[in-house]
Chains A and B, each alone.
Chain A
Amino acid sequence: EAQVTQNPRYLITVTGKKLTVTCSQNMNHEYMSWYRQDPGLGLRQIYYSMNVEVTDKGDVPEGYKVSRKEKRNFPLILESPSPNQTSLYFCASRIEGGYNEQFFGPGTRLTVL
Chain B
Amino acid sequence: DAKTTQPPSMDCAEGRAANLPCNHSTISGNEYVYWYRQIHSQGPQYIIHGLKNNETNEMASLIITEDRKSSTLILPHATLRDTAVYYCIVRVVVGTPLVFGKGTRLSVIA
Contact = CB atoms under 8 A, between A and B. Distances in A.
A105 interface: yes
Contacts of B95: 50, 96
Interface in B43-60: 43-46, 49, 51
Contacts of A104: 43-45
**For chain A, what secondary structure do more than half of its interface residues adopt (helix, strand, loop), or is it mixed?**
strand
A65 B7 CA distance: 35
B99 A45 contact: yes
Using C-beta atoms within 8 Å of the partner chain, give the interface range for chain A. 20 to 34
Interface residues of B, number: 20
B94 A42 contact: no
Interface string A75-101: 000000000000010101000111101
Contacts of B99: 45
A101 B44 contact: no
Interface string B90-110: 000111011111110000000
Given A99-B32, A99-B49, A101-B49, A58 B42 contact: no
Contacts of B51: 99
B94 A97 contact: yes
A33 B97 contact: yes
Contacts of A42: 100-103
Given A42-B101, A42-B102, A45-B99, A107 B93 contact: no
A43 B44 contact: yes
A105 B44 CA distance: 8
Nearest to A102: B98
A74 interface: no
10 interchain residue pairs of minimum CB distance: A104-B43, A101-B46, A43-B100, A104-B44, A45-B97, A99-B93, A90-B43, A42-B100, A105-B43, A97-B94
Interface of A: 4, 33, 35, 37, 42-45, 48, 50, 58, 88, 90, 92, 96-99, 101-107
Interface of B: 32, 36, 41-46, 49, 51, 93-95, 97-103
